[in-house]
Structure 1
Amino acid sequence: MEAAPPYVRIVDDIKRRIADGELRAGDRVPSTRQLARDWDVALATAAKALARLAQLGVVVAEPRVGTVVAGPPGRSPRRPHSDPDDPSRDTSHGPAHDPARDTARDPMRDPARDSGRDPARDSGRDPARDRGRESGRDAARDLTRDRVVRTAVEIADAEGLSALSMRGVAGRLGVATMSLYRHVGSKDDLVELMIDQVLGEFPLPAEPPHGWRTRLEVAARLQWAAYRRHPWMARVTSLTRPLPSPSLLKHTEWALAAIDGHGLDPETMMHVHILMYSYVEGIAANFELESQAQAATGLTDDEWMKAQDAQLTAIVTSGPYPTFVDVVARMGGDFDLDFDRLFEFGLGRLLDGLAGIIERD
């Protein structure tokens, strides 16, 4: 049999989660953009899935809230419209017989007993699958925002931010993807929470040390330590599109307060802060780049450099690069690029340079 179209799979997944109790009446379902990201489909496909769910009466659009599960609180959503895609629907002989309705009229009546059939066998129920669903529901009930964020950080630490997805986090936690949206609005929201948690591991001192230089140096070293432990973080933040993160704003406040009162205009103060922040971030971004390169090539940086020896030698000897050749020769032909040493070297020189601006009086 051919696989169902992507939008049908999304519809079936949300309907199943509602049936399993993972989504209840009034719960918000993911937006079109979230579904497109989670299922790796076009926005039009995700929109078609939500439209289909709305047509079936499974979800409704609530002003200023979004799309939510339909139906009274605590009860499954009603289905005012029949589902023409449901293979069990048969309208060729009038209204379908509903055993549940008969049972409601006579609580003692067992439709399966009347028919002489085994309900478990006829329904195709799989006990192992049922236990798995029950386990998933238990995991969903125990789920917290902190667990979601910690798991996301673990994935990013081990595999890089590019490997992070809502579906991957849900799989690691043993819950349905939709369960995450009760605690985190979107993947973007999750990344912001991850940043706050990571920086929370390296808190700024409650009492700032004396002197602008020491204060800027403390912030830079804490930022470097966070990137060292969680390399993916240096590739997240953007100077032009800063994240609305309380922890990041604390670093901004710390840096501006450190140089306040030295006669600098507001623009210069912001430039000093951004320069310090981007210096640390710029070097730290190489941590994940190197990790990605090693995963892609299977070579360490030393092994990769050795593999380039012949080509690099050919380039150097073919052109006028006397200074480069002399410097390399005086190093004995071996230069070990250590990021920690580079960070220390640059941090001191950067602070020396800023002293000429901040202490110009």
Structure 2
Amino acid sequence: MDSSEENARPYLRVAAVIRQRIVSGALGPGQRVPSTRQVVRDFGVAMATATRALAVLREEGLVVSRPGSGTIVRPSETPARRPTRPRDDALSAGRIVAVALRIADREGLDAVSMRRLAAELRVAPMSLYGHLSGREELQDLLVRAVFGAHPLPEPGPDGWRAKLELVSRVQWQAYRRHPWLPERVSLTRPLLVPEAMAHTEWTLKALDGLGLSHAERTRETLALTSLVRGLAASAAAENRSERETGQANDQWWIALDHEFGRLVSSGRYPHLAAIPENAVRDLDALLDHALTRHLDGLAAHLARRG
């Protein structure tokens, strides 16, 4: 089925997005897929379209319906065993990317090498180059897979503020699910990745009609992206530290507790001493705070301009 036919049938478009999430590993075996009501809300389609999209995935054997659990990704029903060596012609770029994504999410982007992939897939390393030009292209495909699994609805919620909140939270979810992603997203040297460019286009469109100049719309889009990516980069650095040191964040704070207590008890830092313990650890709450204050500022700016 070609892409033009898929775009002409909304239920196929919805099925394709959820299928990509399953293939990319964003939705793992046994995890719940979006319900029909959630599909209606997220994709802006009719209930009949949502129902038919999930039916397509059931027919393909990707999902199953379980009483009390809803529709879930089909669990693995066979015990883990050492896979037989597949034929090189059984490889595909999609299969390579799916394996690379699992490694990157678990161990970081540095762990993804062509040699490691060849070992995981049990093929000769050189066979990978029949599908990919190298590691750089593979990393671009990983970014495409992630943004492709986090689409934005059309037309989206009413109002510029609701739209900007939505795109920020969708990107935040992508960063949190894939901690390596912030290091691949650049504002000064952006990747020419269609799926990521669609997020930028969607945000610019949300700001259209507010009386902002093209430069202001561009800066607002970049500022919002930077806000989300910056917090996500902090979370990614924490993940990297845990992998490298074997020490979880809570353990690090416990180890630091005595020294921190000694410093703040000196009386030189009364405001630091009053900070609640979880204020610097809850990044989701920090995103809520930063996003709210940022959008409040934009709303005030628009109000002043009438």
- The runs of 5 or more residues in structure 2 that have no matched partner are 1-83
Q: Is 1:355 the counterpart of 2:303 in the alignment?
A: no
- The C-alpha deviation readout for 1:15-46, integer Å capped at 9, x for no partner, is xxxxxxxxxxxxxxxxxxxxxxxxxxxxxxxx
Q: Is 1:231 the counterpart of 2:179 in the alignment?
A: yes
Shift of 1:287: 2.6
2:243 to 295, 300, 308: 295
Shift of 1:336: 6.1
Aligned length, in residue pairs? 222
- The C-alpha deviation readout for 1:135-193, integer Å capped at 9, x for no partner, is 75x43110011001111111101101121111111211111222112211221111111
Q: Is 1:264 the counterpart of 2:224 in the alignment?
A: no
Please identify runs of 4+ aligned residues in structure 1 that moved more than 6 A.
Answer: none
| Partner Cα separation in structure 2 for residue 242 and residue 186 of structure 1 | 19
- The C-alpha deviation readout for 1:212-251, integer Å capped at 9, x for no partner, is 1111111111111111211111221111111111011101
Shift of 1:313: 2.4
For 1:12, the equivalent position in structure 2 comes to none
1:286 to 194, 212, 234: 234
| Partner Cα separation in structure 2 for residue 310 and residue 282 of structure 1 | 29
Among the aligned pairs, what percent are the same residue?
41
| Partner Cα separation in structure 2 for residue 186 and residue 356 of structure 1 | 48
For 1:246, the equivalent position in structure 2 comes to 194
| Partner Cα separation in structure 1 for residue 295 and residue 101 of structure 2 | 32
| Partner Cα separation in structure 2 for residue 336 and residue 287 of structure 1 | 11
For 1:274, the equivalent position in structure 2 comes to 222
Looking at both structures, which has the greater relative contact order when contacts are Cα pairs under 8 Å and sequence separation is at least 6?
2
- The C-alpha deviation readout for 1:318-339, integer Å capped at 9, x for no partner, is 46222223x24xx4x6656211
For 1:346, the equivalent position in structure 2 comes to 290
For 1:105, the equivalent position in structure 2 comes to none
TM-score for both structures, normalised by structure 2: 0.68
Is the CA contact (8 Å cut-off) linking 1:160 and 1:288 kept in structure 2?
no
Shift of 1:262: 1.8
Query: After superposition, where does 1:82-231 map in structure 2 within 5 Å?
Result: 138-231=86-179
- Please tell me whether Structure 1 or Structure 2 has the larger radius of gyration of its CA atoms: 1
Shift of 1:261: 1.9
Q: Which amino acid aligns with 2:133?
A: G
CA RMSD of aligned residues (A): 1.8
Is the CA contact (8 Å cut-off) linking 1:139 and 1:173 kept in structure 2?
no
| Partner Cα separation in structure 2 for residue 213 and residue 139 of structure 1 | 51
TM-score for both structures, normalised by structure 1: 0.58
| Partner Cα separation in structure 2 for residue 335 and residue 356 of structure 1 | 27
Q: Is 1:310 the counterpart of 2:258 in the alignment?
A: yes
